[in-house]
């Protein structure tokens, strides 16, 4: 079984936290390191959360703090969904190791440069760090296998009517990634809204009975409450682990290779991903867009990782 080396760029965030656990505990993935980006919360908060998730799940990989603002200098926190700490719902342990003494982008560069195999970059937050990496380390792009990102949508948005949050936070960074020429896999809301934390999932977590599963239940209950309040979705979508799951087993999704552009100017649509599903515009195809999820297969991977982490 070939193991896939990845760097995970994230903004923990409840679903990012679960993506970290899946990346660290699935045997097909080699998590080389974690870089953080502001999004679900301010950069200091999401970075502390990344360290605390590592402490909670006994994960020991390099973690570095990345960009606190978008390429154009914007910042916003999704406290309405993730809470004041950006990861409300459970008391998490204090960090067990220090941050790397480098930026998140420098960590991505270091890990890609030092890897003897091509590295897959997985982004589950705004694409700022990924875009900066591509611009600052052009000589390293040949050692990148592909970029997988949770973001965008072939239909409607969630931060604005047409823009998904990660993309909306940094449309210019998204444009850099979409024009990079690297193989791209987009896991947008179309597919992630099928990864729902249902009562059956809660039942599986309760049956585990580990300290870790109890903390995750607390986090997921908070996530469910806010998602219901904001989006009238009683079963919250666990977006980010889908971007890891597609690497573990590509059959977990049905995808289509199409052209994707990011709207940078639209008065009402800035940050929208324009996904040309039926190739109506004839633009160059640049991304494999996941559209349907095999939810039982996804949850089997996710819950196996939680089980393994709980016994670590
Ligand atoms: O729109 C959902 C995405 O925005 C997820 O990655 C979530 O963690 C937030 O970052
Ligand atoms: Ca995220």
List per-residue pLDDT tens for the chain, 312 residues long: 799 999 999 999 999 999 999 999 999 999 999 999 999 999 999 999 999 999 999 999 999 999 999 999 998 888 899 999 999 999 999 999 999 999 999 999 999 999 999 999 999 999 999 999 999 999 999 999 999 999 999 999 999 999 999 999 999 999 999 999 999 999 999 999 999 999 999 999 999 999 999 999 999 999 999 999 999 999 999 999 999 999 999 999 999 999 999 999 999 999 999 999 999 999 999 999 999 999 999 999 999 999 999 999
The ligand placed nearest to the CA atom of residue 231 is 1
Q: Which two tokens stand for residue 290?
A: 């996941």
> Does the beta carbon of 190 sit less than 6 angstroms from any atom of ligand 1?
no
14 annotated active-site: no
pTM over 0.85: yes
Strands (E), the chain: 4-10, 29-36, 63-65, 119-123, 144-150, 184-187, 253-262, 273-276, 287-293
> Does the beta carbon of 15 sit less than 6 angstroms from any atom of ligand 1?
yes
pLDDT score of 77: 83
pLDDT score of 53: 98
DSSP-derived letter for residue 141 is G
pLDDT score of 1: 76
| Secondary structure (DSSP) of 72-106 | TS-----HHHH-TTSS-SSPPPPPSSPPPSS-HHH
pLDDT score of 136: 98
Give the residue among 130, 125, 122, 126 at the shortest CA–CA distance from 105: 130
How far is the C-alpha of 267 from the C-alpha of 258, rounded, in Å?
25
Q: What ligand 1 atom has the least distance to the C-alpha of 164?
A: 1
The ligand placed nearest to the CA atom of residue 40 is 1
> Does the beta carbon of 261 sit less than 6 angstroms from any atom of ligand 1?
no
- Tell me which of 8, 40, 86, 197 to substitute to probe ligand 1's pocket, judged by most ligand atoms within 8 Å of the beta carbon: 40
What is the CA 1 to chain-centroid distance, rounded? 24
How far is the C-alpha of 186 from the C-alpha of 255, rounded, in Å?
9
How far is the C-alpha of 78 from the C-alpha of 250, rounded, in Å?
30
């Amino acid at each position: 079984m070939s193991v896939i080396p990845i760097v995970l760029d994230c903004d923990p965030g409840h679903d990012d936290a679960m993506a970290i656990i899946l990346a660290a505990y699935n045997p097909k993935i080699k998590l080389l390191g974690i870089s953080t980006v502001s999004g679900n919360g301010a950069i200091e908060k999401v970075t502390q959360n990344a360290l605390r998730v590592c402490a909670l799940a006994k994960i020991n990989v390099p973690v570095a703090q990345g960009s606190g603002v978008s390429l154009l200098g914007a910042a916003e926190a999704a406290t309405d969904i993730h809470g004041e700490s950006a990861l409300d719902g459970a008391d998490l342990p204090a960090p067990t190791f220090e941050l790397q003494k480098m930026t998140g982008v420098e960590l991505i560069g270091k890990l890609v440069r030092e890897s003897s195999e091509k590295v897959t970059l997985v982004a589950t937050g705004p694409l700022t760090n990924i875009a900066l990496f591509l611009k600052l380390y052009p000589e390293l792009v040949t050692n990148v296998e592909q970029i997988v990102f949770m973001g965008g949508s072939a239909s409607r948005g969630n931060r604005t009517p047409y823009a998904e949050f990660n993309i909306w936070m940094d449309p210019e960074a998204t444009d850099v990634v979409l024009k990079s020429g690297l193989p791209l896999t987009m896991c947008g809301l179309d597919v992630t809204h099928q990864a729902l934390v249902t009562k059956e999932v809660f039942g599986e977590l309760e049956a585990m009975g580990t300290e870790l599963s109890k903390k995750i239940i607390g986090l997921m209950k908070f996530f469910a409450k806010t998602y219901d309040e904001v989006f009238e979705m009683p079963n919250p979508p666990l977006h980010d682990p889908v971007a890891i799951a597609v690497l573990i087993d590509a059959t977990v999704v049905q995808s289509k290779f199409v052209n994707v552009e990011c709207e940078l100017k639209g008065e009402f649509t800035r940050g929208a991903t324009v996904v040309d599903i039926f190739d109506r515009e004839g633009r160059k195809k640049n991304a494999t867009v996941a559209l349907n999820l095999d939810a039982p297969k996804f949850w089997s991977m996710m819950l196996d990782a939680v089980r393994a982490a709980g016994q670590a």
